[in-house]
Chains A and B, each alone.
Chain A
Amino acid sequence: MSDQKIDQYRREFLGKTSAAAATGAIAPGVMLMSVGQAQARPLDEAVSSANRWGLLIDSNKCADGCSDCVKACESENAWGSGSSDEQKSDAAQKAQWIRTVTLKNKLTEKEHQLPMMCQHCEHPPCVDVCPTGASFKRADGIVLVDKHICIGCRYCMMACPYKARSFIHEELNDQAPDVPRGKGTVESCTLCVHKIDRGDGSTACADACQHKAIIFGDLNDPNSEIAQEMKKHATTQIRADLNLNTGVRYRGI
């Protein structure tokens, strides 16, 4: 063979083997990503209302006395026992993003428990009353506080029917890099927005629940687990009478 043809042959050989090797190296990663519950959105793409994130919580599955979801949230978002901060605030002043609520039937005295957090309403009263617009709803349904413009007036805390919001009463130093929080501003459950944006496909509380009482998903996607479950069983909202169309739905209240 001529030199040129040998070079050509070498080039093709090298090209094909390196392509095969690259595919072999990347393929497992690609497969891994595609099996995850949600595709990661490209970093520079804005969120859209095509998705609506929500939770389905089954109180029947929530075990009495268990607070794994609370501990997971504390750990992930660095509040409460998940951080060394808030030592000077008293118990009523310390932040609480998610809590377990025990309900007792007045007639039968039967008790059951459920976790409660920001309900990520479609028509949030906290967003209506915020004077600066710091309390806002993202296009994909997550209700957040923009702490850059929060002035700490606490009107949103007054207005929230679920008492979901907390105010930071002292200086903080031990924040998680993904979860900024600071003195004089208001905060609440972010539906683990930093995890969602990253493509983790779930919230810390949903991941931690051993009893599968919390399901996270896209309410707008008819094929998602949460949508399927909601079609199969009766679900309600807390304070459905207020017509806020919450993103967090419950079974077994």
Chain B
Amino acid sequence: MKPVVHYSAIEGRSLAYWGLLGTFGLLLLLGLGAVWVMEHNGHYVTGMNNHIVWGMPHVFAVFMIIAASGILNVASIASVFGKKMYKPLSRLSALMAFAFLAGGLMVLMLDLGRPDRLVIAATYLNPKSVFAWNILLYPGFFAAVLVYVWFMMEKRMNQYSHQAGLFAFVWRLLLTTGTGSIFGFVIARNGYDAAVLAPMFIIMSFGFGLAIYILSLMATCRWSGRELGDSVVRQLKNLLGVFIAAMFYFVFVFHLTSLYGTENHGFEAFILMDGGIYTQMFWIGWVVIGLLLPLGIVYHPSMSKSRAWIGIASAMVIVGGLASMYVIIIGGQAYPMPIFPGFEVSSSFGDGQVISYAPSIWEIGLGIGGIALALAMTTFAVKVLPFVPDSLSDELMDPHYKAPEPEEAEAEAA
């Protein structure tokens, strides 16, 4: 009979554990300190202005929100698509999805000009605004994930975990579509007004989420002394490869179709050729580091078998993800709006010019604080509740597992 997977809370008593939690706590406190500076003085202390209205906080926040929905993907593959191998991975996936959404929302809400008016944001809702839809979608996601985790953990509710998983899956598709639409619905700017942004964000969520999950799983198992077999790592690595390829396809299609229309040549030239930091971020950050190099590692004959390299590939996807957010969000604002097509425009308000943006330490501090919140929540939760499987060894997880022959076992033991 196939052995059953058990879950338990990690021990979490070592100095290293408390050190880790303490580090995340400290970064979170620094982030909150940065918020105090921005809120008390006003946004003049940041690099944001009337032309670049959304800066580093939004880069981090949007990254975390779409990553959160992608992290839940791992659980969905088990519950929704019936791949039993992913089942033991589901609890941690749901936990981290919750944590990363919380972190992303914290950053978004604390960057508001009037964060003291959050209650108004929750009670006055303009039905035509994507932001207002998101204000309903985000708490719904929290609720869906909480219910899903409950169903997975409580034995008598296990039979319903498929339905809960399906509900959470559909909900997160709506949420990510909503997040992509924040930009896709902006008719005013060349870099946004595109329907393809919504599915592109969904695919990016798959990639970023899985990369974060792989790194977290490897770290959790390594640091809590639980076995993580090659079978699991190999399957996740292959899935990451597919997602990276899909992301590459969407970026390629987005720019190719954009390039076809002459009206877009100005913006495309800006991103692809002469946009300075934006061009560097696009090619080096997004394409090379975020897509090509990890793709190479994942499909390389020997590197793809090394956990260190897989970890590096995942980290690269994350770096590429942040770069992609920078290019999309900030690059899209830096390029001048086409208010008077056909004319060369100038004014005292930056019309016709590329606006420069230099992020301040406060904005970056807030963004890092959000990531720290997500990781702190995860680190704390795995100690309190049984999110992590006792073992993900090949014996448990690999459907083609063959016990080694007795001579081999003796040879191993020797």
Contacts and interface: CB of A to CB of B under 8 A. Distances in A.
A183 B337 contact: no
Chain B interface size range:
35 or more
Contacts of A170: 41-44
Q: DSSP majority for the B interface?
A: loop
B340 A253 contact: yes
Contact of A151 (B118, B185, B346): B118
A240 to B, nearest CB: 11
B346 A101 contact: yes
Contact of B53 (A128, A130, A157): A157
**By CB atoms of chain B within 10 A, which of A94, A132, A161, A170 has the most?**
A132
B345 A150 contact: no
A99 B128 CA distance: 30
A104 B344 contact: yes
Nearest to B135: A131
Interface string B354-390: 0100000000000000000000000000000000000
B187 interface: yes
Contacts of A94: 50
A167 B340 contact: no
Contacts of A186: 113
A13 interface: no
Nearest to A182: B114
Interface string A118-137: 00000001011111111000
Contacts of B121: 131-132, 151, 153
A128 B350 CA distance: 25
A129 B120 CA distance: 16
Given A151-B113, A152-B112, A167 B50 contact: yes
A163 interface: yes
A239 interface: yes
A124 to B, nearest CB: 11
A153 B131 CA distance: 10
Contacts of A152: 112-114, 117
B186 A149 contact: no
Given A133-B126, A149-B124, A167-B53, A159 B113 contact: no
Interface of B: 39, 41-44, 48-54, 112-115, 117-118, 120-121, 124-126, 128-132, 135, 182, 185-189, 333, 337-340, 342-351, 355
25 contacts: A90-B44, A92-B355, A94-B50, A96-B348, A96-B349, A100-B347, A101-B346, A103-B344, A104-B343, A106-B342, A106-B343, A131-B129, A132-B120, A133-B125, A151-B120, A151-B121, A152-B112, A152-B114, A153-B131, A158-B333, A170-B43, A184-B42, A184-B43, A184-B113, A186-B113
Given A151-B121, A161-B188, A184-B43, 20 more contacts: A92-B49, A92-B50, A101-B346, A103-B343, A130-B129, A131-B126, A132-B132, A133-B124, A133-B126, A134-B124, A152-B117, A153-B131, A158-B53, A159-B186, A163-B50, A163-B350, A167-B113, A184-B112, A238-B340, A242-B187
- The 4 A-B pairs of least Cβ separation, nearest first, read A152-B113, A184-B113, A131-B131, A92-B49
